[in-house]
């Protein structure tokens, strides 16, 4: 599952964007509903996060119960809100070292959270932050 999100993050980086990728999987854990990456730069749209891109790519689902959102980086408040708003059951997070998002808050509210601490995801962000601190600071609002 993480592989799809990492592919998306790499695609975003190749486009000159912020390397964060995400994918939404059906309750069976293997059917991909939607995938996407952060497109703040590409679309000139600060609300186009990896998770929202994957969510929108999945189209309308009758229910999100049992679905899993996989993301390369701990979800921001906006995306954590999306997870709770639509009742996504599980969030798999590639890493939380680069950014401490809302995964703890999600876990407190009954979302099953799995933090992988994946070295590839961490390296992607570490390299990007070192190369483009301006874009990163814009993204996290500092
Ligand atoms: Zn977000």
Residue 131 CA to ligand 1 centre (angstroms): 21
Ligand 1 centroid – CA 55 distance (Å): 11
For the CA atoms of 95, 98, 103, 105, what is the dihedral angle to 10 degrees?
A: 160
Q: What is the pLDDT of residue 142?
A: 80
pLDDT, tens only, 26-66: 999 999 999 999 999 999 999 999 999 999 999 999 999 99
pLDDT, tens only, 82-105: 999 999 999 999 999 999 999 999
pLDDT at 55 (0 to 100): 98
CA distances from 45 to 71, 98, 134 (A): 19, 22, 16
Q: What is the pTM of this model?
A: 0.96
| pLDDT at residue 141 in the model | 85
Q: Catalytic amino acids?
A: 51
| Span from the CA of 83 to the centroid of ligand 1 (angstroms) | 10
The mean predicted confidence, pLDDT, of the chain is: 96
The neighbouring-strand residues paired with 21 are 37
Token readout for 141 is: 């609002």
For helices 50-57 and 77-86, what crossing angle results, to 10°?
30
* Distance from the alpha carbon of residue 29 to the mean position of ligand 1, in angstroms: 22
pLDDT score for 82: 98
């Amino acid at each position: 599952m993480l592989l799809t999100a990492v592919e998306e993050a790499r695609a975003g980086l190749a486009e000159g964007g912020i390397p964060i990728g995400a994918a939404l999987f059906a309750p069976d854990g293997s059917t991909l509903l939607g995938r996407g990456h952060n497109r703040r730069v590409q679309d000139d749209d600060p609300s186009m996060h990896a998770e929202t891109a994957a969510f929108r790519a999945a189209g309308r689902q009758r229910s999100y119960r049992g679905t899993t959102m996989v993301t390369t980086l701990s979800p921001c408040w906006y995306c954590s809100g999306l997870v709770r708003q639509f009742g996504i059951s599980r969030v798999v997070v590639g890493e939380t070292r680069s950014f401490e998002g809302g995964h703890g808050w999600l876990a407190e509210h009954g979302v099953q959270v799995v933090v992988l601490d994946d070295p590839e995801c961490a390296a992607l962000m570490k390299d990007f932050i070192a190369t483009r601190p301006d874009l990163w600071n814009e993204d996290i609002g500092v």
